[in-house]
């Protein structure tokens, strides 16, 4: 491509970006998007019952009535920072006496530890006088600490050493896999995690493609609708015009995603201040059977993710560019978007349902077939369903597809700039493309002979 063909692309880019961000609706949209991102995690955490483990407590004195034979060590309770200065008084007082004490002493709490022999469970009930200096949360947190102290008392009574205690507390990591994978030593994630990962990734990719499609349609037909195209063509080449616009749309899309990412980061930092984030992970693991620890997530994966997203964007943007160039009026975009959405839906649905087959052949096919590859390859890789060589091959296929589509988009954009008819039918489109290519060849031949 001649450099002279690209002259003016920077000016087109700057102007498109400048006009985009001057639009009040865009600023309002981005502000709302940012606010949603900032508030997303705290609101979700609150809704899911997340709470902040405070280092403060309103309880200054504890009346402890231990009805079990296991002696609870006061130091086990005080080992927690918030109970460092807690006054602990062991008591045999009955419920009425405890009630009287708590009514008089606003900063006191009482705990009764008992054993239900018949049903074989321990019961710890913590009480406080009235909501004020001591809160319900303070009592609940103390209850958790007492549970831990009782556990320590049990272990001590059994003369369990520190090493033995560590062993007892160790978790088992269950792994289910086919014998072929077991023999290959492949660490496979469970099917639920694979399905969850596919759905989440595919949803993100679908959103990215749909958002970019709208922008690209709008910008690839803007000059036609405003009837400015002929005036522009004496100032800038179609290639430079298209390049400038695609770069601008790329900035809008990835700028928007960046804004969401910043919002979510702020959201995460805020949430850490007001609630306990570990509850989130627990919810994900328990409810969705999603185990992030089982996936290949590291710095390299992040780089791969960025490459995958850029390739998806390049393919989707080129496809949208080709179809958007065929539109002469706003109504034509309905037909154009139908084609793009159909293409994306094939990939999206195929890739979403592929993990349910639990088949190596299906994973390989969906990872390599260009339409589904943009959705499937990355989640399959991080869930251990395909190896690095297959992922690299998938990325090469995607790269070649993107390059071919980009080239075609450039040709179609130039060819259709002056076209004012309805959305062309496939046969008509191919005929136009053939004629355009023949004319280009004729012109190239003329230029060569001129140069000679």
Partner 1 sequence: MGFKVSELYKKYGEKVVVDHLSFEMKEPGVYALLGTNGAGKTTSIRMILNMLAKDGGSVEWNGGPLTLQTCNVGYLAEERGLYPKNTLMDQLLYFAALRGVPRAEAKKRINYWAERLEATEYLYPPQEGKRPPKPKKADQLSKGNQQKIQFMLSLLSDPELLILDEPLSGLDPVNTDLFKSIIHEEIEKGKYLIMSSHQMATIEEFCTDLTILNRSKTVLQGNLAEIKKSYGRINLFIKAEQELRPMIEAAGITILTSVGFSYQCKVSGEVQANALLKDLVAKGIPLISFELREPSLHEIFVEKVGETHEEQ
Task: Give me the residues that bind partner 1 (CB under 8 A), please.
Answer: 4, 7-8, 11-12, 15, 18-19, 23, 222, 226-237, 417-418, 431, 435-436, 438-440, 442-443, 446-447, 450
DSSP 298: S
Q: Quote the least distance from Cβ 446 to partner 1, whole Å.
A: 6
CA–CA dist 301, 382 (Å, integer): 8
Q: Quote the least distance from Cβ 443 to partner 1, whole Å.
A: 6
Cβ density class 77-92: b for 16+ within 10 Å, e for less: bbebebbeebebeebe
Q: Quote the least distance from Cβ 314 to partner 1, whole Å.
A: 26
Q: Quote the least distance from Cβ 12 to partner 1, whole Å.
A: 8
Q: Provide CB contacts within 8 A for 34, sequence distance 6+.
A: 259, 260, 262, 263
Nearer to partner 1, 18 or 175 (CB): 18
Nearer to partner 1, 396 or 442 (CB): 442
Burial bucket for residue 18 (CB in 10 Å: 0-12, 13-18, 19+): exposed
Q: Quote the least distance from Cβ 268 to partner 1, whole Å.
A: 38
Nearer to partner 1, 37 or 417 (CB): 417
Q: Give the SS3 label for residue 76.
A: helix
Nearer to partner 1, 7 or 78 (CB): 7
Q: Quote the least distance from Cβ 211 to partner 1, whole Å.
A: 21
* Phi then psi dihedrals of residue 295, to 5 deg: -100, 160
Nearer to partner 1, 237 or 380 (CB): 237
Q: Give the SS3 label for residue 431.
A: helix
Nearer to partner 1, 123 or 226 (CB): 226
Nearer to partner 1, 314 or 416 (CB): 416
* Distance between first and last Cα of the chain: 20
DSSP 188: P
| Cα–Cα distance list, 14 to 40, 218, 241, 247, 364 (Å) | 33, 17, 11, 10, 42
Q: Quote the least distance from Cβ 227 to partner 1, whole Å.
A: 3
| Cα–Cα distance list, 392 to 187, 199, 355, 367, 397 (Å) | 20, 22, 20, 10, 9
Nearer to partner 1, 184 or 434 (CB): 434
Nearer to partner 1, 239 or 401 (CB): 239
Q: Quote the least distance from Cβ 216 to partner 1, whole Å.
A: 17
Number of H helices, E strands in the chain: 17, 4
CA–CA dist 85, 83 (Å, integer): 6
Residue 449's CB is within 10 A of a number of other CB atoms, namely 8
Q: Quote the least distance from Cβ 412 to partner 1, whole Å.
A: 13
Q: Quote the least distance from Cβ 238 to partner 1, whole Å.
A: 9
Listing DSSP states for 130-174 in one string gives SSSSS-HHHHHHHHHHHHHHHHHHHHHHTT--HHHHHHHHPPP--
Nearer to partner 1, 83 or 252 (CB): 252
CA–CA dist 12, 337 (Å, integer): 25
Nearer to partner 1, 184 or 407 (CB): 407
CA–CA dist 452, 44 (Å, integer): 71
Q: Quote the least distance from Cβ 261 to partner 1, whole Å.
A: 30
Nearer to partner 1, 17 or 341 (CB): 17
Burial bucket for residue 276 (CB in 10 Å: 0-12, 13-18, 19+): middle
Which structure tokens are listed for 332? 């034509």
Q: Quote the least distance from Cβ 333 to partner 1, whole Å.
A: 17
Judge whether 133 and 106 are in contact, CB under 8 Å.
Answer: yes
Judge whether 274 and 52 are in contact, CB under 8 Å.
Answer: yes
């Amino acid at each position: 491509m001649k450099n002279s063909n690209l002259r003016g692309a920077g000016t087109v880019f700057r102007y498109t970006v400048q006009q985009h961000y001057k639009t009040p609706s865009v600023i309002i949209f981005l502000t709302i998007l940012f606010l949603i991102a900032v508030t997303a995690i705290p609101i979700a955490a609150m809704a899911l019952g997340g709470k902040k483990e405070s280092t403060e407590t309103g309880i200054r004195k504890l009346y402890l009535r231990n009805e079990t034979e296991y002696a609870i060590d006061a130091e086990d309770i005080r080992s927690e920072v918030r109970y460092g200065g807690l006054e602990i008084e062991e008591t045999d007082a009955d419920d009425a006496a405890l009630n009287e004490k708590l009514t008089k002493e606003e900063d006191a709490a009482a705990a009764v530890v008992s054993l239900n022999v018949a049903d074989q469970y321990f019961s710890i009930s913590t009480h406080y006088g009235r909501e004020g200096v001591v809160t319900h949360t303070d009592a609940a947190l103390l209850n958790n600490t007492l549970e831990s102290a009782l556990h320590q008392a049990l272990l001590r009574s059994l003369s369990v050493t520190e090493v033995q205690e560590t062993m007892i507390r160790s978790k088992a990591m269950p792994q289910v896999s086919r014998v072929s994978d077991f023999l290959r030593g492949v660490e496979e994630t469970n099917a639920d995690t694979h399905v969850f990962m596919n759905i989440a990734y595919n949803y993100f990719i679908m959103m990215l493609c749909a958002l970019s499609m709208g922008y690209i349609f709008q910008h690839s037909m803007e000059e036609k609708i405003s009837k400015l195209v002929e005036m522009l063509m004496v100032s800038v080449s179609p290639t430079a015009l298209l390049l400038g616009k695609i770069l601008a749309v790329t900035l809008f899309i990835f700028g928007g995603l960046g804004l969401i990412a910043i919002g979510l980061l702020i959201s995460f930092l805020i949430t850490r201040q007001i609630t306990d984030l570990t509850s989130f992970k627990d919810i994900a693991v328990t409810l969705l059977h999603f185990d992030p620890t089982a996936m290949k997530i590291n710095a390299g994966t992040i780089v791969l993710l960025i490459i995958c997203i850029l390739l998806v964007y390049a393919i989707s943007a080129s496809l949208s560019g080709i179809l958007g160039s065929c539109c002469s009026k706003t109504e034509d975009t309905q037909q154009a978007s139908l084609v793009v959405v159909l293409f994306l839906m094939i990939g999206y649905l195929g890739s979403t349902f592929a993990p349910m087959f639990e088949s190596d052949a299906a994973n390989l096919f969906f990872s390599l077939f260009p339409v589904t590859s943009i959705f499937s390859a990355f989640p399959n890789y991080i869930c251990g369903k395909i190896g690095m060589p297959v992922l690299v091959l998938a990325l090469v296929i995607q790269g070649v597809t993107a390059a071919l589509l980009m080239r075609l988009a450039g040709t179609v954009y130039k060819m259709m700039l002056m076209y004012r008819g309805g959305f062309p039918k496939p046969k008509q489109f191919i005929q136009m493309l053939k004629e355009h290519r023949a004319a280009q060849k004729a012109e190239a031949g003329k230029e060569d002979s001129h140069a000679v």
